[in-house]
Amino acid sequence: MPLHPQLALMRAHRVASGARPLYEMSLADARAADLASIKADRGTAHPVGEVVPLRIPGPGGDLDARLYRPAGAPDGPLPVLAYFFGGGWVLGNLETSDGTCRRLCAGAGCLVVSVAYRLAPEHPFPAAPRDCHAAVTWLAAHAAELGGDPARLAVAGDSAGGNLAAAVTLQARDAGPALAAQVLVYPNVAYGADTPSMRDNTDPFFFNRTSVDWYWGHYLADPADAADPLASPLRAGSLHGLPSALVVTAEYDPLRDEGEQYAERLRAAGVPVELARYDGMTHGFFTMTGTLAAAREATARVAEYLRKAFGVPG
């Protein structure tokens, strides 16, 4: 279908204002612009019961994290979702994922822990997937102290965060902890992907194939590292034994095809999979809950999927 009218208006505004792609900016300016854009599009803060800062031990030092607790939570331990923000492993922080984490916490009735993994290029691959797995391992060991249930632990993330969530499931399959589910929102799972969606999406006013190359260029200190499944989960030899998955893609996204290929590989490996493509949407739509009805619908769908995976009553 055509680009959604709301996104077409957003594009027209960017054209009129002379907006520059993030990949034409310095890292500092790109990080500031990314944060400002997400804050502008996420809308009013969704209410939750409590937001608590955490420090989680990581392989390179303590990691900042943020715990979200739902309002009116029932007695007894709650399921736990570890969330990894997007930003191409280069941009993003706990604040850029705040809107999403609040909605998932309230909608899924679970604890959400957002993890500030180390960013590239200051900390290139494999720092981020190692940080994220260490954080999930710590959450499994300390869930009870937070009021959580380690037997109902899941991972989720958008874009680079989806890549990291997938990488965590591969590490957890081999080294623990056990995971109940994974949610991958337009994940980038294959370095150098040459797919129709990668070739077609070149619009400089949206996330495009040049954006993809720019992020990978900062993330990998050596392009040879792309062969590692923790960098490119689609290249993993086997996806057997991974947790059930919800994969969300967007029609006008260079990462669309590789995300859908990953969903099909999971299904072929016997992993229960739900695939949801949002037509008319671009990469990044998921965090635009203050601007796009489709973003609110997608976060509600993810929350409902998690409720079912966790066995939380509707």
Residue 254 · residue 283 · CB < 8 Å: yes
3 state DSSP class of 180: coil
User: How far apart are alpha carbons 84 and 165 in whole angstroms?
Assistant: 7
Catalytic one of 41, 98, 131, 253: 253
Residues 6+ apart with CB under 8 A from 290: 40, 41, 42, 43, 44, 99
User: How far apart are alpha carbons 27 and 149 in whole angstroms?
Assistant: 39
3 state DSSP class of 298: helix
User: How far apart are alpha carbons 222 and 89 in whole angstroms?
Assistant: 15
Catalytic one of 4, 46, 218, 283: 283
Which residue is it, tokens 């720019």?
Answer: 214
Across 32-147, the runs of DSSP E, i.e. the strands, are 50-56, 63-69, 78-84, 111-115
Determine whether 97 is an active site residue: no
Determine whether 253 is an active site residue: yes
Catalytic one of 114, 159, 197, 211: 159
Give the distance, in angstroms, between the CA of residue 69 and the centroid of all CA atoms in the same chain: 19
Q: Is 224 exposed, middle or buried (0-12, 13-18, 19+ CB in 10 A)?
A: exposed
Determine whether 194 is an active site residue: no
Q: Which residues are catalytic?
A: 159, 253, 283
